Amino acid sequence: MDIRSALMSFFLAYREDKPASVYDYFANSRGSVQLIPQIRNSILEAARQAGHTSALETDKEMYTFIWDMGSRGIGWGFLLEGSGQCCFWETNVPLTSEQSIHLVLEYPALFGNITSMQHLFTTSLRMNEMLSQNKKILFCDVFFVAELNKAKDQDFCATGIRFWFDEEREKWVPNTLVFVTPQIRQDIQIPF
């Protein structure tokens, strides 16, 4: 299985703070993807309201537009040694709120702010459809603590990434990304 490759490529793509690297990770490394239609419409409406004059004709152009409107990346500096862990599990029914990845990271005395993002691409819809048809899916939840780089003020950030295994493509695909920080941060809302 390629979970190691999926995770290493994820780190490299997001560490660059460039939308093209991240988009290419999703679109090329993790399989063919398209933005969810409702998200495409929301991006086009946001561009219209922002007075964006050039046409956003491709998913990559739309992804770059929302990247530039947001925080422009995660800002990982270093992963804290020994902070990582991963858990494999499977189910054949739709996920419940109790299976939310952010619940593992809730610890109010240490981390006060949780930002959770779902994948913007249609692979998420496919995963949900498969679960609603009682097809078994293997998941991998990865957790670690990172120090953000100087541009993000070197705060610490606990992170969780949920991948699911797409048997058809034989690829691990990101599904949920969670950041937990000591204080509320507006600069960690990123396209995922």
189 or 155: which leads in pLDDT: 155
Q: Which of 64-78, 99-113, 130-144 has the lowest mean pLDDT?
A: 99-113
Per-residue pLDDT tens over the stretch 48-97: 888 887 788 888 888 888 887 776 667 777 788 888 899 999 999 988 88
pLDDT at 188 over 60: no
What is the domain count for the chain? 1
Domain assignment present for 161: yes
Question: What's the burial of 98, exposed, middle or buried (CB within 10 Å: 0-12/13-18/19+)?
Answer: exposed
Domain assignment present for 190: no
Predicted pLDDT at 78: 78
Domain assignment present for 186: no
Predicted pLDDT at 136: 96
Domain assignment present for 43: yes
Predicted pLDDT at 51: 83
Using alpha carbons, select from 179, 91, 97 the residue that is nearest to residue 140. Answer: 91
Domain assignment present for 45: yes
Domain assignment present for 192: no
State the residue range of the domain holding 165.
3-181
